[in-house]
Amino acid sequence: METKTVDARGFSCPQPVVMTKKVLDKLSGGRVEVLVDTVTSRENVLRFGRNAGWKGDFEETENGFKVVLEK
């Protein structure tokens, strides 16, 4: 399974969600990792992904969070 990575660190909402949407719109399934650096961005990307039918989880990194969306 191919993994796509979206580096949304340094962007404030809603930009991380917009960046994630552009990638998810091109995929019917797979794994997308979204790098964010705020709790707000993490929660918004997770909510968006789940509402779009993707399973979502996250892990903390030294620079913020990695949100993992899979379908």
DSSP 8-70: -TTPPTTHHHHHHHHHHTT-SSSEEEEEESSHHHHHHHHHHHHHTT-EEEEEEETTEEEEEEE
Region 3-70: CATH code: 3.30.110.40
pLDDT in tens, 26-54: 999 999 999 999 999 999 999 999 999 99
| Bridge pairing between strands 3-7 and 31-36 | parallel
Domain range list for the chain? 3-70
For the stretch 52-69, pLDDT in tens is 999 999 999 999 999 999
Structure tokens at 5: 């990575």
Nearest-10 crossing angle of helices 39-51, 15-24: 30
pTM over 0.85: yes
